[in-house]
A and B are shown apart, each in its own frame.
Chain A
């Protein structure tokens, strides 16, 4: 158990809908990262937040947005969902901003868009 929690574990929805994925980092961690992993694919970095502020952006679609709240939990919002958005979405947390800080991954949310 990494200490990072993600809800829900599974999500099934229809095209065009909007969903929110939630992540609670490890106690004391200030950085939260979101990744997308499609079937048999690698990890695609989406976005990073540090202490409530956006710090780095990866290949995140405009239909996707995220935020980190004062209690440091983070939410990833996916809207106008398409079939291709079906994937595992992982959240990871680390203590600080440095890339040398270990990232601890949550169990993931499996999103299925029908």
Chain B
């Protein structure tokens, strides 16, 4: 089952914050976040394991709500370099394959 990402697209001004959500209809084992710039390969951001943990990476952080079967990616004080499409990938056990959502396109304007 493909996870559902929301919003599908968001436009921000530089310095604004954004939240991207990734929801699953099944209990999650882990959630993976990637960013892909146009015409480039996806680049790994972070992995979260079940347990409701939160991780941070510079001004990008993410949480994992096991009860809600949802992960959220937080981008704080967005920079132009944050532009791109953000994908979440979910899996349901350590052995199952990762299924990616359809992506959230983030555009940052000066």
Contact = CB atoms under 8 A, between A and B. Distances in A.
Interface string B49-89: 10000000000000000000000000000000000000101
A82 to B, nearest CB: 22
Contact of B41 (A42, A98, A106): A106
Contacts of A104: 44
Contact of A102 (B2, B40, B44, B99): B44
A43 interface: yes
A49 interface: no
Contacts of B32: 99, 103
A25 interface: no
A58 B97 contact: yes
Nearest to B3: A42
A99 B91 contact: yes
Interface residues of B, number: 25
Assign chain A's interface to a size class: 20 to 34
Contacts of A56: 96-97
Nearest to A58: B97
Most buried by B among A42, A44, A48, A56: A42
A99 B29 contact: yes
B47 A41 contact: no
Contacts of A108: 41
Contact of B98 (A2, A41, A97, A99): A99
A1 to B, nearest CB: 10
B62 to A, nearest CB: 14
Nearest to B89: A43
B102 interface: yes
Contact of A90 (B42, B91, B96): B42
A39 B32 CA distance: 22
A107 B44 CA distance: 13
B23 interface: no
Contacts of A98: 94
Given A43-B42, A90-B41, A100 B49 contact: yes
Interface of A: 2, 41-45, 48, 56, 58, 90, 97-100, 102-108
